[in-house]
Amino acid sequence: MADLNNNVFTLNTYTAAVKDGTVAAAVSWRAGWYGGGYPGGAAPSILSKVDRVIFSSDTATAVVKGPLSSARYYQVAHGSPTDLWHGGGYPGISTVDRIIFSADTATAVVKGPLALARTHLAASGNEFDAWFGGGAAPHPSLPGVVSTVDRIIFSADTATAVVKGPLSLATRYLTASGNATDAWFGGGYPAISTVSRIIFSVDTATAVARGPLSAARYQQESHGNQTDAWHGAGMVSSSPVTTVDRIIFSSDTATAVVKGPLTVARFGLAASGNATDAWFGAGSLSPLSLRSTVDRIIFSSDTATAVAKGPLSEGRYGLSAN
């Protein structure tokens, strides 16, 4: 718990106090925003839709909010206590959209782009900055699968993202989670179990390989708190799974530990959460079998099967959330 005795806060101690309940919760820890995605069907159209899940009433169907600036899928997102940045996406764009939580019925605002246009990437960060790593840049004039990491500084988000030290290998269809000081990027295609750690204070260095996931997989999703990250679902040996792996940050050289599963197998899902729980939403069993399901993992009892909560407004995959 944050020390409030001297009534002096840095942003880090304030954020810790918000998360542990010492002060009123910030908006970003009360709700999750799930944006974009691909709805499938005979004549599908990529979505710009954003759904909001309110954690305290998560049995209800998610409410549709203001859209992204353009339709996209396989983009990623990371946020601060007040805003959320969605970056990249298919068919290989550099656009970054900012959702202001307090005005979430408005269309997301376009901010400074990523340094490299790409899709199938991952993102993590803290309350000051976001790091967008990996992915694929499919345009013929651009490189293919990359290890590139771009850093967005929230206080200067109209500028082009700055290239930082790369991941330990080039990959796509990966995921990422982290805490105030570090980010862990895990999995990827072709199916790997590799986990790379970025230390934010020395982010010009190549990310360091850490203990692997329990199995090689891709198109999984993750969410965590200050001490651990939970990686859920994805593709293993070309089949969707319900598996959830827990990475303990303080012992991240060990193989991730398998915890209680999600309620249904899927890939291409998204995850949001707060300090105590994570909500894994949507995804696909196959291109014609889409999920709107949202599963809640309670971190303090993560050996149990996740509990199904109120669904998103529409089944889809390749969406983003934070």
Tens of pLDDT, residue by residue over 93-129, are: 999 999 999 999 999 999 999 999 999 999 999 999 9
- Distance in angstroms (rounded) separating the CA atoms of residues 293 and 302: 18
Which residues, including other chains, have CB under 8 Å from residue 21's CB and lie 6 or more apart?
Answer: none
Q: What is the dihedral of CA 50, 53, 54, 57, to 10 degrees?
A: 140
User: Which tokens is 55 given?
Assistant: 């954690």
CATH topology of domain 11-321: Neuraminidase (2.120.10)
Number of C-beta neighbours around residue 175 at 10 A: 31
> 10 Å Cβ neighbour count for 24?
8
Secondary structure (3-state) at 27: helix
Task: Band the pLDDT of 60: cuts 50, 70, 90.
Answer: very high
3-state class percentages of the chain: helix first, strand second, coil last, to nearest 5:
10, 40, 50
pLDDT tens digits along 231-287: 999 999 989 999 999 999 999 999 999 999 999 999 999 999 999 999 999 999 986
Using pLDDT thresholds of 50, 70 and 90, give the confidence band for residue 293. Answer: very high
pLDDT at 29: 66
**What's the maximum distance between 2 C-alpha atoms anywhere in the chain?**
61
Backbone angles phi, psi at 120, to 5 degrees: 60, 35
Of 175, 199, 206, nearest to 189 by C-alpha is: 175
Amino acid in position 58: D
pTM: 0.90
